[in-house]
A and B are shown apart, each in its own frame.
Chain A
Amino acid sequence: MSIDQPNQSAWRAGGRLSRRAFGAGAMASLTSAGAFPAPALAQNAPVTVIWAEGNPNFDVLEAIAAEFTAATGTPVSLNNMDHEAHKIAIRNYLVAGPPEITFWFAGERTRAFAARGLFSDLSDLYDREGYAGIIGPYAESVSFEDRPYGLPLGVTLWGLFYRRDVLGPGGIPLPATWDELLSYGEAARAAGLDPISMGSKELWPVHTLMTNISLRTLPLDKHLGLYRGQVAWTDPDVARVFDNLGELSRRNFFTPNHTSFDWLEAGVFLANKEAGMLHTGAFIRDAFRPEERDQLAFTAFPVFDPGVGRSEETTINSIHICANAPNQDGARDFLAFFYAPEQLGRYIAPSGALLPRNDMAQPTDPISAQMVESLATVVGTSLNFDLEANPDMTTAALPLFQEFLVNPDRQADILDRLEAARARIYG
């Protein structure tokens, strides 16, 4: 039924069928016969957007879409999907019935779809809007073979969060080095706190912590080589990363039975003064009651080895045009409208993330200001393991990272299994 629809409406709408209209209708019927309404022949073909960021920003996106329609006459249809379900559905719809626009993640998550020709090459849009100079270093995170396939959205810097009334001046001193981190652990335990709050039920809090430890242990290029499958897990330098993480585990740094708790519970342990610090991003403020949010403070991860340049861990969300969607021009117009400073700023603000455009004023709250300052002096950045590594490798590795955090004495066996997975996936 839906396959015939665009052609019929093309016949009906104009009465006269041009060859181009027929071609467009036929193409639409081939590419979007499925969940998404195929465009009829109208003055402006509609733009379909799939959004799944799972945060309060959706209301802002709705307002922006309405403004775009008012300004251009192009109807926008918004779909709000569940965050986790979207990760599964996207592979189906990108092939079977792509929308014009989808929200996604930078790094390998972008490269995987760009390599398969499912995301549209945005070089033309970058040239038209001059994005290259505006986005600067973040463009790399959404590029594949030096061509941009998306636009970066909110940038989250990862580090240690704590409560002002527990740590810092007047409380337990903040650790700035490896040795201070170890003595901090003893001080925190003496004060009845778990030194680092951990809720590893959903696995990712382990690899985000490991990313920061790896960045402090290995030079950036070696770290990225490891995460992108070019360095063996049995490499002696890699063993030092696991030694460091294992040392913290042996010294009982983490919440007991952390595999039973999720990340939000780990945030609540911090808010309730049951734990001293939590490795996370600014979104953790949602775990705090609004009247207590000014207690939340940020500090960069301690430096382990002064010889290793300071690189930091970020995560970047992104927005893309699907290559097989019918309305490529409309999608580019929408993206340009959405990515203008005014709209982009409104969209990102509720999430507490930093802005990807260097021609916009970053948020001025104390945590954001600290993060901006921290990022200004880094050697480089790495995304976390989930965004840097092949998704197949991620599925294999994440349970092993968790197993290591619980049983650091299984290090040799776990590294062998990681290497076996790497050999299979990248080999």
Chain B
Amino acid sequence: MSETPRAPALQRAPARGRVGKRTRRIAWLAPALLMLPGAALFAVVVLSSAVQSLWISLHDWDGFGGMRWVGLGNYAELWRDPAFRVSLRNNLVWFGMFMLAPPLGLALALATSQPIAGFRTMRSLFYLPLVLSSVTVGVIFSWIYVPDYGLLAQIWELWGGVAPAPLSSERWVTPAIALAALWPQVAFAMVLYMAGLTTLDAEQIGAARIEGARGWSLLWHVVLPQLRPVTLVAFAIAALGSLNSFDMVSVMTKGGPYGSSSVLAWQMFEQSISSYRMGYGAAIATVILLLSSAFITLYVRRMVRP
């Protein structure tokens, strides 16, 4: 599977002695030229800003005055900062909840691909959150969560219970926001798996059925192994999405109540923009970069090694 992308380049590489010097040079030149715009853009937009951010994180800087060298001072302060620990812990909660997206997406994809009347409509309903912007999703969910007159409170009232206020609770606020973000994420995983299901090898499944594989064992031993590349992508995207959880927090709570729903990306924004602490914000950015690099490295290694 994963060899397909590099195969054409290998085939075209001139290996025979009859091919002249000139052709060989062109063979080297063409891919380089094709890569150049992307590589240049990546170098300017991503690499140079990452290096600059790393440089800023070693300074005390308010964004317009002079920069004062503090070495690893920002990182030392980060280590002791209780707000940073809250953000890191919340990112873990986000990560844990986002890991539910691939299995839930697979379940939905399997369910809605059954030949039962009405499931096609169901599928487009499940697909709906994906076309909503995350800000819209955040606003809708914060309306649902409003104490007293939100949808959640009204459901509770039907049973005569006291409505919870998830966005006011230190403990539940992060799961409540992550749940809102999970909604489109599950839809995304579902779409990935639906595409994956169309590529299944019918012969293998037929053979497995003849051997007596049914239900769970068919899914586990025959279908899932074939979906492995899709699963890998779904988990990688969910993991990176959980690190990237800024917009929902910003729309739904702005890190509140009293910072208990803050995540790394939000804390970085707040420190650099509201507190005029570019260096400290850059130090948080570096932590985010390290964490996401870890995921990306894992992902790329899996992709390259079949």
Q: Which residues does A use to contact B, with CB under 8 Å?
A: 88, 91, 94-95, 116, 118, 200-203, 256-261, 391-392, 394-396, 399-400, 402-403, 406, 417
Cα–Cα distance between A259 and B147 once the two chains are bound (Å): 10
Q: Are A203 and B256 in contact (CB under 8 A)?
A: yes
A–B complex contacts, Cβ < 8 Å, 15 sampled: A95-B64, A201-B253, A201-B254, A257-B168, A260-B146, A261-B146, A395-B270, A395-B271, A395-B274, A395-B275, A399-B255, A400-B258, A403-B257, A406-B168, A406-B258
The 10 closest A-B pairs by CB, nearest first: A403-B258, A259-B257, A257-B165, A399-B258, A395-B275, A257-B168, A399-B259, A257-B147, A259-B168, A402-B258
Cα–Cα distance between A261 and B167 once the two chains are bound (Å): 10
- A201-B147 contact given A116-B64, A392-B275, A395-B275, CB 8 Å threshold: no
Residues on A with C-beta less than 8 A from B256 are 201, 203, 259, 399, 402
Residues on A with C-beta less than 8 A from B259 are 399, 403
Query: In this complex, what residue of B is CB-closest to A425?
Result: B275
Most A C-beta atoms less than 10 A away, residue of B63, B258, B271, B277: B258
Count of chain B residues with a beta carbon within 8 Å of a chain A beta carbon: 25
Query: In this complex, what residue of B is CB-closest to A413?
Result: B82
Q: Are B167 and A259 in contact (CB under 8 A)?
A: yes
Asked if B276 is at the interface of the complex by the 8 Å CB criterion, the answer is yes
- CB < 8 Å: which of A95, A260, A396 contacts B147? A260
- Encoded as 1 (CB less than 8 Å from any A CB) or 0, chain B from 144 to 171 comes to 0111100000000000000001011000
Q: Which residues does B use to contact A, with CB under 8 Å?
A: 63-65, 82, 145-148, 165, 167-168, 253-259, 270-271, 273-277
Taking the closest CB of chain B, its distance from the CB of A368, in whole angstroms, is: 33
Q: Are B167 and A91 in contact (CB under 8 A)?
A: no
Cα–Cα distance between A95 and B62 once the two chains are bound (Å): 12
Most A C-beta atoms less than 10 A away, residue of B64, B257, B277: B257
Cα–Cα distance between A85 and B165 once the two chains are bound (Å): 29
Q: Are B258 and A392 in contact (CB under 8 A)?
A: no
- CB < 8 Å: which of A200, A259, A392, A400 contacts B276? A392
Cα–Cα distance between A88 and B63 once the two chains are bound (Å): 11
Q: Are B273 and A88 in contact (CB under 8 A)?
A: yes
Cα–Cα distance between A213 and B276 once the two chains are bound (Å): 29
- A391-B276 contact given A256-B147, A257-B168, A260-B145, CB 8 Å threshold: yes
Residues on A with C-beta less than 8 A from B270 are 395
Residues on B with C-beta less than 8 A from A202 are 254
Taking the closest CB of chain B, its distance from the CB of A376, in whole angstroms, is: 36
Cα–Cα distance between A258 and B256 once the two chains are bound (Å): 11
Taking the closest CB of chain B, its distance from the CB of A272, in whole angstroms, is: 11
